[in-house]
Structure 1
Amino acid sequence: MKPLVMIGAGPGSLPRIVAEIAAARDAPLAGYLDAGTDPRPPTTPLVRLGDESRLDDPAFLAAHDLVVAVQGPTRRALLEAVLARGGSLPVVVHPGATLSTTATLGAGTIVSAGVIVQSDARIGRFCVLNTACTIDHDNVLGEGVSISPGVHTAGHVTIGDGAFIGLGAVIIGGVTVGARATVGAGAVVVRDVPEGATVVGNPARPLPPKPR
């Protein structure tokens, strides 16, 4: 296993989660790279190894595994840039997570403490599975899906690319959540959610359009 370097730092939650996962695996981060137009140092003490320009160095890429801890719309672009340059994006899993031996997880996915991924679940690239969420059997998650803490999905759920599932939401079996949809915190999703929609409540319903 190569030394792991984090891209992005700052005071947000994801850099701290990544640093703690690495430490819990007894393989602390080797350092970090600045990213974005307003880079900030991490709250966890780490060695600064440079900025995004290091991704143009084949020797650096060959010597390290990379984890992208940038949050927001620029995260996917950075992930794609790493892969396009031949870099390695391992799945970063907290040792306190439980993954079925028949589950699959795509490159660049981050799995926090207490997560459970059940049999034959397929998790796409670039996903973030936050604390103590459960992904049940035969789920299919697209790329860049963000699952908040305490989310629970039943079996045969499909979640499209770039969807966001809020804190403590529940999704019943067989439901499809469309690409780039948002499920609000605490929502109970009992029917399919259209692409790009935002749903809230129990049972989850689309938010009414904003008044002009």
Structure 2
Amino acid sequence: MKPLVMVGAGQAALPRIIAEAAAAGGAPLAGYLDVGPQPPAPATPLTRLGDEERLQDPAFLAAFDLAVAVQGPARRMLCERLLGIGAGLPVVRHPSAVVSATAVIGAGTVLSAGAIVQSDARVGRFCVLNTACSVDHDNVVGDYVSFGPGSHTAGRVTVLEGSFIGLGALIINGVTVGPRATVGAGAVVVRDVAEGTTVVGNPARVLARG
């Protein structure tokens, strides 16, 4: 595996999760690239290797793998751009995360400390699995899905592209969460969630529709 460079920095959680996972795995980040016109400084002391212009340098792309730490709407655009230019986008996995030998994790996904992915689960590209969450057996998780700390799915759950599963949420067996849906913190989801819908409570009920 090549040395890892973080694309984007700042004080938010994701850059710190990536930096800590890399360091805990014995291969600290080689540095970071600034992104955007007024890039924030990283919370973790790191070497600045330049800005987005380095992504146009074939020698740089050949020398380093990349981990995208940009959050919000710009994340997808940047990730797709990097895929298009053939950048190396490995899974970033804290050593305390547990992944079944039969699970599949997509490019650029980040697994924080204590995350668990069980047998025959399929997790898409550029997902974020936060602290001590679990994705159980035979789940199908689309691209750009985020799981909050301590959230859990039961078996055969489907979570489609761009959805957000909040802190401590629970999703029972066989449920489908539609694209770009939001499951609120602590919600208990016992039936399917429609595309773009926000659900909260126990049992989860619709709060808003996209």
**How far apart, CA to CA, are the structure 2 residues paired with 1:21 and 1:64?**
17
**How far apart, CA to CA, are the structure 2 residues paired with 1:208 and 1:99?**
34
CA deviations on 1:70-90 (whole Å, 9 max, x unpaired) are 111111111111111111100
* Aligned counterparts, 1:196-211, within 5 A: 196-207=196-207
Partner of 2:195: 195
Name the SS of the counterpart of 1:195 in structure 2.
coil
Residue pair 2:199, 2:208 contacting (<8 A) in 1 also = no
Given the alignment of the two structures, is residue 33 of structure 1 paired with residue 33 of structure 2, yes or no?
yes
AA of the residue aligned to 2:77 = A
Residue pair 2:116, 2:134 contacting (<8 A) in 1 also = yes
Pair 1:69–1:208, CA change in 2 (3 A): closer
Partner of 2:122: 122
* Structure 1 residue 208 displacement after superposition: 5.2
Residue pair 2:143, 2:162 contacting (<8 A) in 1 also = yes
Q: Which moved more, 1:172-181 or 1:46-55?
A: 46-55
Structure 1 stretches of at least 4 aligned residues deviating more than 6 Å after TM superposition? none
Partner of 1:157: 157
Alignment size in residue pairs: 209
Partner of 1:63: 63
AA of the residue aligned to 1:143 = D
**How far apart, CA to CA, are the structure 2 residues paired with 1:186 and 1:54?**
42
Partner of 1:45: 45
Instruction: Provide the alpha-carbon RMSD of the alignment.
Output: 0.8
Structure 1: 5+ residue stretches without partners? none
Partner of 2:73: 73
Residue pair 2:153, 2:172 contacting (<8 A) in 1 also = yes
Name the SS of the counterpart of 1:198 in structure 2.
strand
AA of the residue aligned to 1:163 = S
**How far apart, CA to CA, are the structure 2 residues paired with 1:171 and 1:54?**
42
* Aligned counterparts, 1:7-26, within 5 A: 7-26=7-26
TM-score (norm 1): 0.97
Partner of 1:177: 177
Structure 2: 5+ residue stretches without partners? none
CA deviations on 1:50-93 (whole Å, 9 max, x unpaired) are 11111111110010000001111111111111111111100010
AA of the residue aligned to 2:152 = H
**How far apart, CA to CA, are the structure 1 residues paired with 2:208 and 2:43?**
39
Q: Which moved more, 1:177-186 or 1:79-88?
A: 79-88
**How far apart, CA to CA, are the structure 2 residues paired with 1:53 and 1:192?**
43
